[in-house]
Structure 1
Amino acid sequence: MMKHFFLSILFFFSLSCTFSPKDFRIPEIEKWLSSHEKRYDYCIVIPGAGCDGCISGAEYFVVENYQRANVLYIFTKIESVKLLKHKLGDNIVNAPNVLLDVDGTFDKNGNNPNDIYPAIYNISQNKVTDVNYMSPQNGMAMEDLKKQFEKEAVFKIDLESYIKHGDCGRQIKLSDITDSVTYIPLKTNYNLPIAEIQEVRTTDDFIFCLDTQQKLFCFNRNGDFITLIGKRGEGPEEYINIADFDVDGRKGEVYLFDLQRHFIMVYTVDGRFSRRIKLPDNILNIAKYYDSQFIAYAPEYLGNERDKLIIFNDKGEERDSILFQQEENISNTKIDIFKMATFTFQSHFLCRLPFSDITYALTPIGNQYKYVEFQQGKYKLPYEIGSNVESYNENLNSSYIFEPRFYKCQNLIFINFFFKMNNYQLLYNSDKNVFFTVFKGKYPVGIENDIDNGPPFWPVYIKGDRAVGIATAFNSEYDNPVLQIINITLENKE
């Protein structure tokens, strides 16, 4: 219902108008754009006072689309920055393409009757070419822009061009993206060593690490061992195999996804068993979703009507489902170990279906949009090769890109993939459309650490502007991995 309500707002409160010279904001917008290196295609100005319904619709549009780096959002006539952050969230208000007009630069009295409405300014080469106002008359300004956004990925990354041009990306060092590195040695007893770490999650108070021996460790923020979460076994409070896990720091709960038995095992952060949530057998992968919900990948060949995502509440009851457009070259009859959806939860929930170039973002109310598109061209792995284990292994030396993955932090996208028996690690600046070569070789290394000459860095987990990497033990009495933590700086260098 909420989704349809907000769509109605966007439809009802949008109107296309040609701008007039009386729009005093235009010279100020062009002046601001010309003084900044970043290039935008749109500028949306949202007043804090005026047409309440129009403003609510525009604010909702920002929540759904703030990650589009080609759009500049300007909030003016701000009654309270604190209230605005409470309404939209700190991550949106502090986004690099969101500008708070606290000094009233874009709020001068120009006697324009449209000042009370949000406005969409089309930009070309730092000049305003058109403007559409959202007013109570019927119109389609915001809805048309929304439909345009649905067709295009927020970030298009041309891996084909990168490979064709001979790895021409420039080298980068750690000091180009951060000022310092924090090290947290993970401390356990000698009879409880940590194997290779697979996954990391953090809260304000704790660090959780899942290793290849299926042990889930809980540490405090200094790296002191607190407890193991759960125990492997077949008992009602035990798990057989952890496919993945997640943490809700606010509720103090840890969720272990035991897909072999189709349970979500719920524990407290101090390791006590709380409950288990039974899931249906027709799913392959599951992750934590917004607001105490979970989301699972349900492929057609397990008896579902189509490849889809199913949303469950915290009792395991199905609440909703999301269908995806099936790619024509993907067979629905073959069962293989590669046919798994990939989930990540950064600022939005991200999902990539098997053999798809596109990672989708899902919003809290179930809207989906194209988030990252890897443009692989002739190097894209054909389904008939990738879907079969034997042919997959036989073609590892071929000219196809295998398993492209990414982490995004602010304007930087950390990318890794496998191509012609080499691991590639790249850094992509989405603001400037620039690649940086990090590493190419047999064993991935990471970004050269020129800050303290410590181990190279590569993220395994990102939360906000903080990225977490893993290094082998060094200068420590503990023979355990060491976490590296950096804060990504906005003004990273080329």
Structure 2
Amino acid sequence: MCNMRELVIVIVALFLISCEQENEINDLRVIDVESNVGKSRQVFLSEVAESIEYIPLETTEESFLGIPSRNQFVYENDLLFVCQKGDYFKIFNSKGNYLSAFNQRGNGPKEYVVPNMFVVDSSAKVLSIGSVRNIVEFKITGEYIRTINYPVEESLRGLRYNDLGKIGNNYYILSHNINTSKDNLNYSAIILDSTSKIVLKIPYPKISREFVNKLAQKKLFNGLRIPTSQITPRLFRFKNNVRVITETDENIISVNEDLLIDTVYRLKYGKYCIKNYPDSYNITTTNAPFLQLYGGIYESSAFLFMSFRTGKLPLKHWEYTNRNGVKMSSPVSCSYFNKKTGQFTFIDPCGLDEFGLIDDIEGGPAFWPRYISQDDYMVNHIDAFTFIQYAKTNNVSEKFKKIAASLNESNNLVLIRVKLKDK
């Protein structure tokens, strides 16, 4: 009888362990990167999107754009905001019409010094510009609203903020560059209210701090420099929440409007985690046996889009032509995570100078997001010359050909707007 009871206990225990393991596998918050290395494939845009539009931006002397950097291109509530030359902003509507320019740069109390970073609220009515010493809010018409000064306290001495997010209407989150020559590993980010008061500090992950300190000690011993991209926290936005991740950490945390923090995703790197390699700073990009996040992270209702440096792992390299016309290869792969099914996919490149999702809807060039709006539009741009040439040399749709025929090579950028599926 006793043996039978012990047998039942063992069976129940094994059942519970099995359930726990199954729950971990089926937990949609776990992004299983490790088991998908070597299993990449080409992905068509129609797998994640309902439609794609190519919208030529109005071309005038006043509206013409230079090529914006990654974080200087925002689309919300049918309005496009582009920061130009680190000085001013130009605004277009969803039809490509030029609406206005915005420039309040200066040293005055209602001006910004240099717009290092900016965010637009979901209604596209407030433009918040992060500068070297404060955040300045404006209506998109240019009317000044208020200034939120960066806090001054001993624990934040020497910090240089590198990323800005807005949580709801009243809170801002700031991440900062990590410099191992200074003791600034206390926080991944801080959160301010509209009165410049610190309401929350997000600790730098303990395990990551230990890893970075080891890197710093090795750096001092060998006289080598640690790439700050390995250790600096980054922010990305989803709806009214802001996500935070440190490159050496596997957890992506989220802060909501009530300032509640939760771990929303865990990147399961396994044996490809950078923390397994304490000499990672001394390994060349092409020889790295680990994965590193590369570029921005973009999230919609149904998907998460990420890119990785893949080193010498069995994933196809991105091939592109440099400014001198020379063919180059880079160990970079893009990927996406389906939030509804829990499936993670590495995406194969689809040709020279093609990066991302194959446009099987209009036949245009491969697409990769530069921004995702809160209503699930992902956007990027293409210059007029490239658009025209692509139409001539590829099997594109009649709609694509018609747009190309309407352009001159010297025209303004073409906005690419993709409506994502929500399930």
Fold in common (TM above 0.5): yes
> Which one of the candidate residues 354, 361, 368 is aligned to 1:458?
368
> Contact 2:57/2:413 (CA < 8 Å) preserved in 1?
yes
Query: Partner residue of 1:340?
Result: 232
Displacement after TM superposition at 1:173 (Å): 1.2
Query: Partner residue of 2:316?
Result: none
- Note the 1:10-409 alignment, pairs <5 A: 154-163=28-37, 166=38, 168-190=39-61, 192-199=64-71, 200-211=73-84, 213=86, 215-248=88-121, 250=123, 252-258=125-131, 261-280=132-151, 282=156, 283=159, 284-285=161-162, 286-297=164-175, 306-327=186-207, 328-331=210-213, 337-338=228-229, 339-347=231-239, 348-382=241-275, 391=282, 394-404=284-294, 406-409=297-300
Displacement after TM superposition at 1:422 (Å): 1.8
User: CA separation in 1, counterparts of 2:251 and 2:128?
Assistant: 27
Aligned letter for 1:208?
Answer: F
> Contact 1:169/1:434 (CA < 8 Å) preserved in 2?
no
- SS of the aligned residue for 2:289 comes to coil
User: CA separation in 1, counterparts of 2:307 and 2:246?
Assistant: 18
> Contact 1:230/1:267 (CA < 8 Å) preserved in 2?
no
Aligned letter for 2:211?
Answer: N
Q: Structure 1 stretch 243-252 or stretch 217-226: which is displaced more? A: 243-252
Aligned letter for 1:329?
Answer: F
Query: Partner residue of 1:483?
Result: 415
Deviations 1:414-452 (A, max 9, x none): 221121232211233343343445334885612111111
User: CA separation in 1, counterparts of 2:120 and 2:96?
Assistant: 17
Displacement after TM superposition at 1:342 (Å): 0.9
Displacement after TM superposition at 1:320 (Å): 3.1
- SS of the aligned residue for 1:457 comes to coil
Aligned letter for 1:367?
Answer: L
1:448 has 2:391 as partner: no
> Which one of the candidate residues 340, 344, 363 is aligned to 1:431?
340
TM (normalized to structure 1)?
A: 0.59
Aligned letter for 2:166?
Answer: K
Greater relative contact order structure (CA < 8 Å, 6+ sep): 2
User: CA separation in 2, counterparts of 1:378 and 1:183?
Assistant: 42
- SS of the aligned residue for 2:287 comes to coil
User: CA separation in 2, counterparts of 1:425 and 1:278?
Assistant: 37
User: CA separation in 2, counterparts of 1:270 and 1:188?
Assistant: 21
Aligned letter for 1:160?
Answer: E
1:417 has 2:308 as partner: yes
- SS of the aligned residue for 2:36 comes to helix
Aligned letter for 2:343?
Answer: V
> Contact 1:446/1:456 (CA < 8 Å) preserved in 2?
yes
> Contact 1:175/1:451 (CA < 8 Å) preserved in 2?
yes
Q: Structure 1 stretch 176-185 or stretch 188-197: which is displaced more? A: 188-197
User: CA separation in 2, counterparts of 1:333 and 1:316?
Assistant: 34
1:267/1:188 CA distance change after superposition, 3 Å: farther
Deviations 1:253-303 (A, max 9, x none): 211111xx3211222202344443211353424321223211223679767
Q: Which segments of 5 or more consecutive residues in structure 2 lack a partner in the other structure?
A: 1-17, 217-225, 312-329, 388-403
Displacement after TM superposition at 1:384 (Å): 5.0
TM (normalized to structure 2)?
A: 0.68
Displacement after TM superposition at 1:241 (Å): 3.2
Query: Partner residue of 2:379?
Result: 468
User: CA separation in 1, counterparts of 2:232 and 2:185?
Assistant: 17
1:333/1:172 CA distance change after superposition, 3 Å: closer
> Contact 1:359/1:371 (CA < 8 Å) preserved in 2?
yes
Aligned letter for 2:212?
Answer: I
Displacement after TM superposition at 1:183 (Å): 2.2
Query: Partner residue of 1:138?
Result: none
Query: Partner residue of 2:11?
Result: none
> Contact 1:230/1:273 (CA < 8 Å) preserved in 2?
no
Aligned letter for 1:156?
Answer: V
1:235/1:428 CA distance change after superposition, 3 Å: same
> Contact 1:229/1:272 (CA < 8 Å) preserved in 2?
no
1:340/1:444 CA distance change after superposition, 3 Å: farther
Q: Which segments of 5 or more consecutive residues in structure 1 lack a partner in the other structure?
A: 1-124, 130-144
1:427/1:443 CA distance change after superposition, 3 Å: same
Aligned letter for 2:91?
Answer: C
> Contact 2:237/2:298 (CA < 8 Å) preserved in 1?
no
The alignment-based identity, stated in percent, is 21
Aligned letter for 1:195?
Answer: I
Aligned letter for 2:196?
Answer: G
Displacement after TM superposition at 1:205 (Å): 4.9
Deviations 1:107-143 (A, max 9, x none): xxxxxxxxxxxxxxxxxx9xxx9xxxxxxxxxxxxxx
Q: What is the alpha-carbon root mean square deviation over aligned residues?
A: 3.6
User: CA separation in 2, counterparts of 1:483 and 1:445?
Assistant: 17
User: CA separation in 2, counterparts of 1:213 and 1:409?
Assistant: 28
> Contact 2:30/2:267 (CA < 8 Å) preserved in 1?
yes
- SS of the aligned residue for 1:378 comes to helix
User: CA separation in 2, counterparts of 1:222 and 1:240?
Assistant: 32
> Contact 1:422/1:442 (CA < 8 Å) preserved in 2?
no
Structure 1 consecutive aligned stretches of length 4 or more whose deviation exceeds 6 Å: 298-305
1:333/1:367 CA distance change after superposition, 3 Å: farther
